[in-house]
């Protein structure tokens, strides 16, 4: 642990240089498992700094887009190798900066490596179609061109994977990038960019600017030289970003919240369903947009499922994610802790039956951190706040239904539509679920979280701007189609 006078300062990365903010202001980052542990400071930038970052990205754009896809891919392969070589150090920074356990942080960092390699390969794949022309002497085809400068605004909950799954496709398809990571995880963000810098990307192709959302985030969205904005975070901020971007004709992509259900039918393998509910709902302290938060169980197995679930929940070890044997870390920050505690109080006052947890953890090892017990409510009904709003914490709401039809109606009775799971052994239930569930990601006999980098990811309803990230789907956002007609 460093003393406050020794902590390092993480600068912006603009035009190939590590640069302090013109304001001279910094913000200290501390460990949510132990707030006495200070990791370092990040720059709190101004719009002047942002203008420099965007102008550097704009200047780099012409030469970057002229490179072949395979040449751009080589830079991504180099960044992947460097990130992989620093996996332990970057994962430890992530754990100390936002609380996720070290094994999870390591898994996420390796996922970043895999995403970089996947998109490096994209530089060699087809980007268009040949379309028969009505003129037999002409050739008609589509190609794709980059947007130009892409602004990337990312949250704190996946501080390596999300920046990379936005930057890697932006770069491989020929865009230059200005990223503003959540200030909450500005140091992890800076370390990711160190890997890009060390990979030797041409000056200005990748720029990092730390600062607050309302200043730097909004400034990026409103900047006339930023042609595309990709955002993951809250619905409230996302919707405003969409409006600002639309108002000036910029392309935008928003990934926002979820209120993801798991349906457990009477014929389900209950042990499997319990494992997946715990993993999907409580890993990362429930701070995933894909986290399970509603567990809709058929009445025949409701009591048996609840008993098994509670037994497993009691075994969860909560503590500092750097320690061996800890399964669940703290909430990422004080706001998150307070948000979770207030939803717990609301659930109690609205008639939810608290059957596990419900409190902030106190005592040795807990007092300097933002720890909350894994919490389960039973007898939750759909009009209750905890059945409707995203909590982003380790809280599960159990709901009882009499039929699979009722389960599906309940599962769809929210404004979100990101991910959903069903546990069943019956093919007719699987098919009803696939057809009727209003979610971008439907999973059968598997937890609601867990995204594969090569598949499209995104939500329906209020969960996204209806675009998809990751896999080949990313090309749709990061490029424009150009239709070409050639005749001699
Ligand atoms: N879908 C998901 O994966 C996520 C969902 N959330 C949900 O949002 C809740 C609140 O979390 P929070 O971190 O406050 O989420 P925000 O939506 O505020 O933050 C996400 C990103 O947007 C930036 N931002 C904030 N305000 C603006 C703005 N006016 N213009 C442009 N960018 C802005 C933030 O910057 P900065 O933080 O540096 O100010 C951060 O980089 C969570 O409890 C959870 O419910 C949160 C994170 C991820
Ligand atoms: O489930 C996952 O792996 C991805 C979750 C995610 O994208 C998010 O929480 O923002």
What pLDDT, in 10s, does the model give residues 468-487? 999 999 999 999 999 999 99
What is the structure's pLDDT at 5?
59
| Ligand 1, CB cutoff 6 Å, lining residues | 153-157, 180, 182-184, 212-214, 217-218, 221, 232-234, 237, 241, 255-257, 289, 336, 339, 390, 392
Share of residues in the chain with pLDDT > 90 (%): 98
pLDDT digits (tens, 9 = 90+) for 103-135: 999 999 999 999 999 999 999 999 999 999 999
User: Contact 434/379 with Cβ under 8 angstroms?
Assistant: no
Nearest to 453 by CA among 179, 112, 194: 112
User: Contact 294/399 with Cβ under 8 angstroms?
Assistant: yes
What is the structure's pLDDT at 270?
98
* CA–CA dist 453, 389 (Å, integer): 27
For ligand 2, the distance from its centroid to the CA atom of residue 376, given in whole angstroms, is 22
For ligand 1, the distance from its centroid to the CA atom of residue 87, given in whole angstroms, is 25
Contacts 24+ apart (CB under 8 A), 336-341: 336/287, 336/370, 336/392, 336/393, 337/370, 337/371, 337/372, 339/391, 339/392, 339/393, 340/286, 340/372, 340/375, 340/391, 340/392, 340/393, 340/394, 340/395, 341/372
122 belongs to the catalytic site: no
Q: Whose CA is nearest to atom 4 of ligand 2?
A: 451
What is the structure's pLDDT at 34?
98
* CA–CA dist 61, 55 (Å, integer): 10
Please provide the distance, in angstroms rounded to a whole number, between the alpha carbons at the two ends of the chain: 70
Structure tokens at 152: 């990337």
Q: How confident is the model at residue 415 (pLDDT cuts 50, 70, 90)?
A: very high
- 3-state class of 249 per DSSP? coil
Instruction: Answer whether 157 contacts ligand 2 (Cβ < 6 A).
Output: yes
1 pLDDT above the threshold of 90: no
For residues 96-102, average pLDDT = 98
What is the structure's pLDDT at 6?
82
Please state, in angstroms and as integers, the Cα–Cα distance from residue 134 to each residue in 131, 142, 281, 485, 487, following that order.
10, 15, 55, 11, 12
Regarding pTM above 0.95, the answer is yes
Backbone φ and ψ for 210, nearest 5 degrees, come out as -95, 155
Q: Whose CA is nearest to atom 9 of ligand 1?
A: 234
For residues 343-372, average pLDDT = 98
* CA–CA dist 214, 16 (Å, integer): 25
Pocket test for ligand 2, best of 281, 284, 285, 290 (most atoms within 8 A of CB): 290
- 3-state class of 452 per DSSP? coil
In the chain, the domains with their CATH numbers are 9-256+464-487 (3.40.605.10), 260-453 (3.40.309.10)
For residues 144-173, average pLDDT = 98
pLDDT digits (tens, 9 = 90+) for 64-85: 999 999 999 999 999 999 999 9
Please state, in angstroms and as integers, the Cα–Cα distance from residue 337 to each residue in 106, 333, 363, 376, following that order.
24, 6, 16, 16
Q: Whose CA is nearest to atom 7 of ligand 1?
A: 234
Pinpoint the alpha helices (H) of 177-291.
Answer: 186-198, 218-222, 235-247, 270-282
4 pLDDT above the threshold of 90: no
**pLDDT, mean over the chain:** 97
3 pLDDT above the threshold of 60: no
What is the structure's pLDDT at 2?
44
pLDDT digits (tens, 9 = 90+) for 228-280: 999 999 999 999 999 999 999 999 999 999 999 999 999 999 999 999 999 99
For residues 329-337, average pLDDT = 98
State the ipTM, two decimals: 0.98
What is the structure's pLDDT at 19?
97
Catalytic pick from 222, 255, 447, 469? 255
For ligand 2, the distance from its centroid to the CA atom of residue 282, given in whole angstroms, is 13
């Amino acid at each position: 642990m460093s003393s406050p006078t020794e902590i390092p300062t993480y600068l912006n990365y603009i035009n190939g240089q590590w640069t302090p903010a013109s304001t001279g202001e910094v913000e200290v980052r501390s460990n949510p498992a132990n707030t006495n542990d200070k990791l370092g400071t990040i720059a709190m930038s101004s719009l002047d700094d942002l203008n420099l970052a965007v102008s550097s990205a704009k200047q780099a754009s012409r030469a970057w887009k002229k490179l072949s896809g395979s040449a751009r891919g080589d830079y991504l392969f180099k960044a992947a190798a460097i990130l992989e070589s620093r996996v332990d150090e970057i994962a430890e920074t992530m754990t100390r900066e936002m609380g996720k356990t070290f094994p999870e942080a390591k898994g996420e960092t390796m996922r970043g490596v895999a995403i970089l390699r996947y998109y490096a390969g994209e530089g060699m794949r087809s980007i268009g179609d040949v379309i028969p022309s009505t003129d037999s002497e002409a050739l008609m085809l589509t190609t794709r061109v980059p947007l130009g400068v892409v602004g990337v605004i990312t949250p704190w909950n996946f501080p390596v994977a999300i920046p990379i799954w936005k930057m890697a496709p932006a770069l491989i398809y020929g865009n230059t990038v200005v990223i503003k990571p959540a200030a909450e995880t500005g140091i992890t963000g800076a370390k990711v960019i160190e890997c890009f810098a060390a990979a030797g990307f041409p000056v200005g192709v990748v720029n990092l600017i730390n600062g607050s959302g309302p200043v730097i985030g909004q400034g990026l969205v409103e900047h006339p030289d930023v042609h595309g904005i990709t955002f993951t975070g809250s619905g409230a901020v996302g919707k405003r970003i969409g409006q600002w971007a639309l108002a000036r004709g910029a392309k935008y992509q928003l990934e926002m919240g979820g209120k993801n259900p798991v349906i457990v039918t009477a014929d389900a393998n209950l042990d499997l369903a319990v494992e997946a509910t715990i993993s999907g709902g409580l890993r990362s302290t429930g701070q995933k947009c894909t986290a399970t938060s509603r567990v809709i169980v058929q009445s025949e197995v409701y009591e048996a499922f609840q008993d098994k679930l509670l037994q497993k929940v009691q075994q969860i070890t909560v503590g500092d994610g750097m320690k061996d044997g800890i399964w669940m870390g703290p909430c990422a920050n004080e706001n998150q802790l307070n948000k979770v505690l207030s939803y717990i109080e609301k659930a109690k006052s609205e008639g939810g039956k608290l059957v596990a947890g419900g409190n902030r953890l106190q005592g040795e090892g807990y007092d300097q951190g933002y720890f909350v017990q894994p919490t389960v409510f039973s007898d939750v009904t759909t009009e209750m706040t905890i059945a409707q709003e995203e909590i982003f914490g380790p809280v599960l709401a159990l709901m009882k239904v009499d039929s699979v039809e009722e389960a599906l109606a309940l599962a769809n009775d929210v404004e979100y539509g990101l991910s959903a799971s069903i546990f069943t052994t019956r093919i007719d239930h699987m098919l009803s679920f696939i057809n009727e569930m209003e979610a971008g990601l439907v999973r059968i006999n598997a937890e609601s979280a867990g995204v594969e980098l090569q598949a499209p990811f995104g939500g329906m309803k209020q969960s996204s701007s209806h675009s998809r990230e990751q896999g080949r789907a990313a090309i749709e956002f990061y490029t424009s189609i150009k239709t070409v007609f050639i005749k001699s």
